[in-house]
Amino acid sequence: MTLQNVVPTQGRAYNLPMLVSDLGEFALIDRLAKSIESRNNALTLALEAQGSSLALGIGDDAAVWSAGSGLTVATTDTMVEGSHFLTDQIGWRDLGWKAIATNSSDVGAMGCRPTFALVTLGLHGDLPVEGLVEMYAGMMDALEYAGGIIAGGDVVKSPVFFVTVALEGQSMTIGNETPLLRRGKAAQGDLVAVTGPLGCSGGGLRLALDDSESGRLSEEDADHLKLAHNHPYPRVAEGIALARAGVKSAMDISDGLLDDLGKLCKESGVGAIIRASDVPADAILRSAFPDDWLGLALGGGEDYELLFTAPPDVMKIAIREVDAPISVIGEIQSSPSGVTVVDESNSPMTVGTGGWDHFEQTS
């Protein structure tokens, strides 16, 4: 054993990682702020070009910014260790990406672009500082992908590790209008559509929770499904394109297609019919779960694809203008009868609602 392995620094050996308890709150905040400074500054310039300006950022009692013309939207989401993620199942960088991406997805689902984020961390002392720095790098990856900057936040001591992101967004303006995508705008005769394939995230979660499931798949297929769960891509550009195309009704798929479509129908006072054969799922999911792929696609949750409805003429424009695969999977009915899934002979199917409920009782 060499001398450098045993000589302590601030009470810890050189070869051990620095923990939050070694650094303290204010030094940690400074460390995290410096780790994103140059990338955040570059994103600030991009926001200014779009009409949104940060007047006062990290370091004061509150952040100050001005937004461009149009409407401001805001969302927030919390990820709690043990409920939403396990640190031994998701990398630090993916954790940071997902914390931002879930909020960016909400903003994009409104047809808006992300602008300013506030990040609150609940930490216990034995978390590694370099892990948190890597998590912030993942946050910057997501902001560079979808837009926005980190304007400030908070750090608190907590027995359970959590990450809360509050994200503001800005609507675009078309002439004198500021179009928003909303859950309550679906109408009779609308077609129901989704972007991308569904169910891979649910499949990835199943693999993460059961090692025996992963063992029967190739490493490449298992990684594909786990990546869909840990590193979802928010459909921000696609949401803006839908709003520009004239779509009025949309939301992101976070709790599962059936649950989320049910919410959209309830807000609009309508019902929907979904054709199971038209629900998109990729070949890897179908091969990995030949008996369960449809259930995962209908109720797996955390796909962060866009669910939207539009009249047939508007849907044609959307399919042409949006740079993403779009699948028309059903129609909106006038009767507020919830969501019905039918098979190829148009007979109703019995399917579980799936989806995610934070307070669902399980045995």
pLDDT per residue as tens digits for the range 25-45: 999 999 999 999 999 999 999
pLDDT surpasses 50 at 9: no
Secondary structure letter of residue 358 according to DSSP: T
**Where in the chain do CATH 3.30.1330.10 domains reside?**
16-171
Distance of alpha carbon 31 from alpha carbon 359, whole angstroms: 36
Give the pLDDT of residue 26.
Answer: 92
Domain range 16-171, its CATH number among 3.30.1330.10, 3.40.50.800, 1.10.3470.10, 3.30.1700.10:
3.30.1330.10
Give the pLDDT of residue 14.
Answer: 57
pLDDT per residue as tens digits for the range 332-361: 999 887 999 999 999 999 876 444 444 454
pLDDT surpasses 50 at 270: yes
Distance of alpha carbon 265 from alpha carbon 278, whole angstroms: 19
Higher pLDDT, 358 or 318: 318
**Where in the chain do CATH 3.90.650.10 domains reside?**
183-342
Q: b vs e for 240-268, b when ≥16 Cβ sit within 10 Å of the residue's Cβ? A: bbbbbbbbbbbbbbbbbbbbbbbbbbeeb
Distance of alpha carbon 161 from alpha carbon 120, whole angstroms: 11
Q: Which CATH architecture has domain 183-342?
A: Alpha-Beta Complex (3.90)
Distance of alpha carbon 66 from alpha carbon 132, whole angstroms: 29
DSSP string, 201-230: HHHHHHHHH-HHHHHTS-HHHHHHHHHHHH
pLDDT per residue as tens digits for the range 183-216: 999 999 999 999 999 999 999 999 998 877 777 8
State mean pLDDT over 290-313: 96
Distance of alpha carbon 66 from alpha carbon 223, whole angstroms: 41
Distance of alpha carbon 97 from alpha carbon 64, whole angstroms: 24
pLDDT surpasses 70 at 293: yes
Q: For the chain, how many helices (H) and strands (E)?
A: 12, 14
pLDDT surpasses 50 at 330: yes
Band the pLDDT of 61: cuts 50, 70, 90: confident
C-beta of residue 161 within 8 angstroms of C-beta of residue 87: yes
> Average per-residue pLDDT in the chain?
91
Give the pLDDT of residue 353.
Answer: 47
- What three-state secondary structure class fits 61? coil
Give the pLDDT of residue 363.
Answer: 32
pTM: 0.90
Band the pLDDT of 16: cuts 50, 70, 90: confident
